[in-house]
Structure 1
Amino acid sequence: MIVKKRIKPLKLFKFEALFRRLDLDHPKRQIASETYAKSLAGYRGERSLDFPLSFLPEQKYHVLHDLRLYDGSHYFQIDCLLLSSNLIIIIEVKNITGTLIFDSTFNQLIRINDNKDERAFSSPIIQVNRHVEQLQKWLKLQKFPAMPIEPLVIIGNDKSVIKSTEKGKSQTLSQFVLPYYVLPDKIKELEVRHTTYLLTKESQHTLSKQLQIQHHPLKFNILQHFQISESDLIKGIQCTNCKFYSMHRTFGTWACDRCMTTSKKAHMQALRDYYLLIGTTINNRQMNDFLQICSPHITKHLLNSLCSITIGTNKGRKYVLSFAFE
C-alpha cells in the first residue's frame, strides 16, 4: 500500500511561478528553463513506476515515494522505497532518452541521443549503492534492526536502449538496471532470495511511520539559486484570460483593462506566486507592491479574509500565507 504518495514537487511549482513573473528575454530564463526541463523529466520518470507498482500485493509492501532522510552526516534522497517484512528495496529512477551506456571503468552513464551527441552523467549505480549504505546507517541511528536492502536503477523511458561498455557484463548490469515495465518480475526474484521474516507487521508499520516522520523536504529558494533579484519579477495581478498583468480592483472584483475579463479570485494566483518565489509571510506594504494595489484598505481586507494566522502587531504585523499544492 502507498503510505507516502508521490506528489508534484514544490520545486516545479516554483519554476512555473518564476516563468509567469520573468520576462522572456531575462538573461537567467534560459538556464532556469533547462533546469526545469530536467526536474520535470525526473518527476515524469518517477511516475512511470505507478503502473508496475500497482501489481504488488497491497498488504505486503509499504510504498514510500520521494524520501529525504538524514543519516547523521548527510542528507540523501530516495525516489521510491519499498518496505516489506523481509527486505527493503530502494529505487533510483532515471528518465533519460537515447542509448544509455553504463561505463563501469569510469563509473559514468553515457547518453547518446538521436543526433549522435554524447553526454556523460554520474553513475546512478554508484548513487543508489551509496543510498544503501546511508539507509543502513539511518536504520542503526533510529535503532531499527539491520535489514537486507536491494538497490535498483529503473529506466523510466521504454524507448531507451540500455548497454554496458564491458563484454559479458550485461548480465551483472541487469541485476541493478532495468526498464520500468519489468519491475514486478524483478521484485518477485528478490523475494525468492529473501524469505526470512525480520519484521512483524507492527514493526513494519512502526518503521514505515518513522520514515515518514524523518522525511526532510528540500528547501529551495529559486531566486537565490539563480541569483535573480526580486525587483526583476513582473508585478501585478495576471488576467485569467489574456494573461497580461492588467487587472485592477473595482466594485469588489478584479477587472482586466485589456480584455474586460472579471474575476473574484484573480489575486489568489498572485499571492501563490509570492509564496513560491519570495516567502511564506507578507505584510500590507509587500502586498501593495507585489500585487500593485493602490488602496491599503483593500489590501488589509483581503489579507484578513485570507490569513487566519498573523505574526506581530500594528505596523509590524505579518500575515502567514498557506497554500496546498498538488
Structure 2
Amino acid sequence: MQGHLALLKRLGNTHENESFIREEIRKKEAGERGEDRLLVKLGELRLPGPFRIFSDVALHEGDWKVQIDCLVVTDRCCIVLESKNMSGDLNFDTSTEEFYRLEGNNLETPFPNPYFQLMRNIRFMKDLLRRSFPELQVTGAIVMTSKSCRIRNKPSHYPMFKLESIIEKIIHMYNHSSPDFLSDKQLDTLEHMIRGEQSKFTYPPLCEHYRISQNDLIRGVECPHCGVFGMKRLSTTWTCLACKKNHRYAHISAVNDYFLLIKKEITNKEFRRFCGIKSIYSASRMLNRMNLEAHGSGPGRYFTKKSDK
C-alpha cells in the first residue's frame, strides 16, 4: 500500500494512469478490510481440540510462492481460507468457470475466479505438509466478507460461504476430517514450521509492475510539512521553497520511494538525479549515513535496503 500511495503522489493528477492507481489502492484497502473482518469473526471459533490461526501467510518452496489470506490449523485438518471483499450481485458460470459481477443495465464485469487461487494454495499446503504431517487433511473455502454481496449461481463443486456462516462451516469441516489427531507437541511443531517458513513477498518496483516510465514520475524530495516536491539542500538540511520549513532527513523518504517505484538499488548518481543534489560528495555522505547496505566500491558502488540482502 505504501508503494501505491507513493506512486500516486509522484504521478500527479494529470497522468493517464492516475485513476487506475487510485482504483488499485481502493481494491487493496477493501481487501485488507475484508481480511480484518474475517479475523474478527474467527475470534468466535471454538473447537473440541486445539487450533492455531495464521493471517497473511507468505510461503514458498523453491520458486513456488503463495500468499494465503488465512490458515486455520487444527489437530485434525488444515483449512485454507481466501477472503474476497466484493459487493453486489456476484455470478458464477458453472460451464465456463467465469466469475463476474452484474452491474446496472445488465453489464457484466469479469474478475479472476477465486476458485483457482484457492485450489493452488490447497495444493501448496498439501505439498508442504506431505513430508512431516502426511496424515493431516488439507481443505479450504472462499469467504465472501462484504455485507452487501449476493452470490448468484453458487458453484456446487467447491466451497464458497458468506462471512456470517464461516464459523459453522469450519466446525463442519473439522468434524468431517480424519479422526487421527495431532498431539499438542505436533501442533506446536507445525506452528513453528509455518512461522519459520514465512517469507516476505518481494514485489518488483511498481513502475516495472505497471509498465510506467520512471521519467513520468515527479522527482525531488517531498516536504514532510506541506507535501510539495522540490526541497533544496542547503548546507546540512533541506529547505522547502513553498512553506520555508526545514528538515534534515527528508531525503530518506525519497530514497524509500525510489526503492518502491524504480529499482531496489541506488547509486550515488541515481540518488543525486532523483533528489536534485549537485554535490557528489554530499550525496555520498548522506547515503553512507543512511541505514543501507553498501555494495562494491568506486563508480560501481550501490546501496540497497538491509532487509533486501
Contact 2:50 / 2:184 at 8 angstroms: preserved in 1? no
Give ranges in structure 2 of 5+ residues lacking alignment. none
Contact 2:292 / 2:306 at 8 angstroms: preserved in 1? no
Which residue of 297, 302, 316 maps to 2:300? 316
**Residues 303-312 or 87-96, more deviating:** 303-312
Matches of 2:245 and 2:18 in 1, distance apart? 29
User: Which residue of structure 1 lines up, in the alignment, with residue 122 of structure 2?
Assistant: 132
Give, as a single letter, the amino acid of the residue that structure 2 aligns with 1:254: W
Aligned-residue Cα RMSD (Å) equals: 2.9
The TM-score, its normalising length taken from structure 2, stands at 0.85
Contact 1:307 / 1:319 at 8 angstroms: preserved in 2? no
Summarize the alignment of residues 137-176 of structure 1 with structure 2, pairs less than 5 Å apart: 137-140=127-130, 142-164=131-153, 176=159
In the alignment, does 2:35 pair up with 1:51? Answer: no
1:222-265 per-residue CA deviation (whole Å, 9 max, x = no partner) reads 21222222222211111223322131123532221112122233
Q: CA deviation at 1:143?
A: 4.0
User: Which residue of structure 2 lines up, in the alignment, with residue 89 of structure 1?
Assistant: 79
Matches of 1:251 and 1:117 in 2, distance apart? 59
Give, as a single letter, the amino acid of the residue that structure 2 aligns with 1:32: I
Q: CA deviation at 1:268?
A: 1.9
Aligned length: 306
Distance 1:72 1:253, change over 3 A: closer
1:23-58 per-residue CA deviation (whole Å, 9 max, x = no partner) reads 332233343333343333323322221211222359
Contact 1:28 / 1:226 at 8 angstroms: preserved in 2? no
User: Which residue of structure 2 lines up, in the alignment, with residue 103 of structure 1?
Assistant: 93
Give ranges in structure 1 of 5+ residues lacking alignment. 1-11
Summarize the alignment of residues 193-208 of structure 1 with structure 2, pairs less than 5 Å apart: 193-194=176-177, 196-208=179-191
Give, as a single letter, the amino acid of the residue that structure 2 aligns with 1:149: V
1:114-162 per-residue CA deviation (whole Å, 9 max, x = no partner) reads 565322334323442343233223322x443132222111111111112
Query: Higher relative contact order at CA 8 Å, sep ≥6: structure 1 or structure 2?
Result: 1
Matches of 2:61 and 2:243 in 1, distance apart? 55
In the alignment, does 2:34 pair up with 1:42? Answer: no
1:268-309 per-residue CA deviation (whole Å, 9 max, x = no partner) reads 211110121223332222211111112333322222221363
**Residues 69-78 or 91-100, more deviating:** 69-78
Summarize the alignment of residues 221-236 of structure 1 with structure 2, pairs less than 5 Å apart: 221-236=205-220
**Residues 259-268 or 195-204, more deviating:** 195-204
1:86-138 per-residue CA deviation (whole Å, 9 max, x = no partner) reads 11110111111101223323323231235653223343234423432332233
1:45-98 per-residue CA deviation (whole Å, 9 max, x = no partner) reads 222212112223599222222334446785443221111111111011111110
Summarize the alignment of residues 102-121 of structure 1 with structure 2, pairs less than 5 Å apart: 102-113=92-103, 116-121=106-111
Matches of 2:173 and 2:118 in 1, distance apart? 17
**Residues 116-125 or 284-293, more deviating:** 116-125
In the alignment, does 2:220 pair up with 1:212? Answer: no
Matches of 2:112 and 2:233 in 1, distance apart? 52
User: Which residue of structure 1 lines up, in the alignment, with residue 2 of structure 2?
Assistant: 13
Matches of 1:30 and 1:308 in 2, distance apart? 33
Q: CA deviation at 1:321?
A: 2.7
Give, as a single letter, the amino acid of the residue that structure 2 aligns with 1:55: E
Matches of 1:87 and 1:134 in 2, distance apart? 15
Matches of 1:240 and 1:323 in 2, distance apart? 24
Give, as a single letter, the amino acid of the residue that structure 2 aligns with 1:310: A
